[in-house]
Structure 1
């Protein structure tokens, strides 16, 4: 997964506050996609994806420019406050299948709620119906 694309579903989507800050000038392509097996919960100004069979989340599949991949990966890890193996992470960066608009699939990096956060959201979080933060968040 050395240079996998990223699946973004919240503040990194086009038109949202972090898109231009983190993605402008670093992407080769951005295209609509959806990921199965996850649902969205409201967070404090951003959503959390929580792994849940039967769920579907809408977002964008972002492919980094070849020369910008390492820089983009580091920037997104910093944005999501993700440190590999840190039990305090709010998110975990994992690879999952994402379906493009044409029906083809690709493995992509996605930030999902870390286990403790996911458990809290499942018990008392507010689900974003329809799995699309643009329309529900």
Structure 2
């Protein structure tokens, strides 16, 4: 699935109006629509957020709020490289990954679902966050 051109679900500093959106995505997208990521929770990090897959037995139906970003025609590969570098993603299963890029279903505001790339905290970091991280209960980075 690594070579599949999927949109990106972004939930923190890459959301429209946030500083990394302006630096890395502005003028390079074909569509940006509100969306949510079910089955994940959000933790506050030093200056940026971390989405972590929720425990399977979490009855609250956790969700992370964000946007579904579709790259402009011809810019997919460039954005993929830029975002992988920004998110410290070096490839599947690499121990130096801060985030892992994984395909997950994102739900648009109109209720339709799209498979999207999502940068989730890599498992060693996710374990630390689950144990002692600062949860953003609303799932929305803008509410922190």
Regarding TM over 0.5, the answer is yes
Unaligned runs of 5+ in 1: none
The aligned counterpart of 1:81 is: 88
Aligned-residue RMSD, C-alpha: 0.9
The aligned counterpart of 1:108 is: 116
The Cα of 1:48 is off from its aligned counterpart by: 0.1
How many residues align? The count is 136
In 2, Cα distance between equivalents of 1:33 and 1:88? 29
1:26-41 equivalence runs, <5 A:
26-41=28-43
In 2, Cα distance between equivalents of 1:134 and 1:60? 12
1:1-137 equivalence runs, <5 A:
2-52=4-54, 53=56, 54-84=61-91, 85-136=93-144
Question: Structure 1 segments of 4 or more deviating over 3 A?
Answer: none
More helix by share: 1
Superposition TM-score, scaled by structure 1 size:
0.96
Superposition TM-score, scaled by structure 2 size:
0.92
